[in-house]
């Protein structure tokens, strides 16, 4: 089966734009295969000019799996799977300007998230993404050996600020703590499709490394958190109305700046259920580079050498 979809990489290590897709109609198996392969290869996919309904967006998401309901984010009563992020001067943005993977406070975090722009500000309001497979590859071999086999505890800590000290709120908070009892996830997880290793900690939800003193854990986590800040691992998406972005939540962190406030920015989001994170099994062995990365190395060196610096030229 052939597909007319085209995939255009955006950055060297993360992101691709898919052209020729119309999410307002059912995708053929061939079209879905192209999109799915692009997602796991590029980790973030961008589809422009998708003037579709919410039902179309949900149908697209269901091709990847069952939809989940976020326990804290504002959603639609008639479609609880849909999160509405509508920020303006009347509703200032909160909790998005921290690097994170979605909902790692769950025992089984989401597979991916599909976000659609409805209202965009005149300036600002971009979303940044960072590849955690690239972040893992960027660690030294000694650091990879050190973090191999470690586990970290996750908590819905930013959402605790939504509760006050009333008896009703305290009871609701206790109920949610029973539903989401601080899972331990591998610091390095394995992608269930590609087999790639992923740096699986984030500053919004990861709170402790098992078996370490608090100051030791904090030192290691802060170093690992900083890997999301490396520009080579990042993608910055500028939104337009009816832009849809899907990211692989298993291997990507994201960050939404509040630089557009007090302008209005409205997004509709659906999230696909995932699988339990699994770490690297057995003793440490180096990870082989992905085939696509090896294929980028030129088979023959460029002709003519490189430009010389002044001190490299022979004196007259």
Pick the catalytic residue from 42, 56, 70, 100: 100
- Are 128 and 96 a contacting pair, CB within 8 Å? no
Annotated catalytic residue within 102, 154, 155, 185? 102
Residue with the two structure tokens 């088979």: 299
Q: Is 244 exposed, middle or buried (0-12, 13-18, 19+ CB in 10 A)?
A: buried
Q: For residue 42, indicate whether it is catalytic.
A: no
102 is catalytic: yes
* Tokens 């192209």 found at: 34
Which SS3 state, helix, strand or coil, does residue 61 take? helix
- Distance in angstroms (rounded) separating the CA atoms of residues 204 and 247: 18
Q: How far is CA 274 from each of CA 14, 73, 93, 191, 303, rounded to the nearest angstrom? A: 21, 18, 27, 11, 48
The single residue listed with the structure tokens 């149908």 is 59
Phi/psi for 175 (5° steps) reads -60, -40
Q: Are 116 and 267 in contact (CB under 8 A)?
A: yes
Q: b/e map of 252-264 (b: 16 or more CB within 10 Å)? A: bbbbbeeebbebb
Strand partners, 185: 152
Q: How far apart are CA 223 and CA 149, in angstroms?
A: 17
Buried residues in 93-122 as b, exposed as e (16+ CB within 10 A): beebeebbbbbbbbeebbbbbbbbbbebbe
C-alpha 287/C-alpha 193 separation (Å) is 16
Active site residue 210: no
Task: Point out the residues that are catalytic.
Answer: 100, 102, 254, 269
């Amino acid at each position: 089966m052939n597909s007319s979809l085209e995939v255009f990489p955006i950055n060297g290590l993360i992101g691709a734009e898919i052209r020729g897709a119309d999410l307002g109609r059912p995708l053929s198996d061939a079209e879905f295969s192209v999109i799915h392969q692009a997602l796991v290869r590029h980790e973030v996919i961008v589809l422009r000019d998708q003037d579709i309904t919410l039902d179309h967006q949900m149908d697209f998401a269901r091709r990847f799996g069952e939809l989940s309901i976020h326990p804290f984010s504002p959603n639609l009563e008639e479609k609880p799977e849909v999160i509405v992020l509508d920020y303006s001067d009347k509703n200032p943005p909160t909790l998005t300007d921290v690097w994170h993977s979605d909902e790692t406070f769950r025992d089984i975090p989401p597979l991916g998230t599909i976000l659609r722009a409805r209202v965009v500000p005149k300036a600002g309001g971009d979303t940044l993404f960072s590849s955690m497979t690239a972040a893992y590859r960027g660690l030294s071999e000694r650091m990879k050996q050190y973090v191999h086999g470690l586990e970290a505890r996750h908590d819905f800590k930013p959402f605790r600020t939504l509760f006050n000290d009333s008896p009703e709120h305290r009871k609701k908070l206790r109920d949610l703590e029973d539903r989401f009892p601080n899972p331990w996830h591998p610091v390095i997880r394995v992608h269930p499709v590609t087999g790639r290793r992923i740096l699986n900690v984030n500053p919004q939800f990861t709170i402790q490394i098992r078996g370490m003193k608090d100051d030791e854990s904090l030192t290691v986590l802060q170093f690992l958190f900083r890997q999301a800040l490396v520009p080579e691992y990042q993608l910055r998406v500028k939104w337009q109305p009816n832009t849809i972005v899907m990211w692989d939540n298993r291997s990507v962190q994201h960050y939404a700046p509040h630089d557009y406030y007090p302008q209005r920015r409205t997004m509709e989001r659906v999230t696909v259920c995932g699988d339990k994170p699994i770490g690297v099994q057995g003793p440490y062995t180096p990870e082989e580079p992905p085939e696509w990365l090896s294929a980028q190395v030129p088979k023959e060196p460029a002709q003519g050498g490189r430009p010389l610096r002044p001190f490299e030229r022979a004196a007259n």
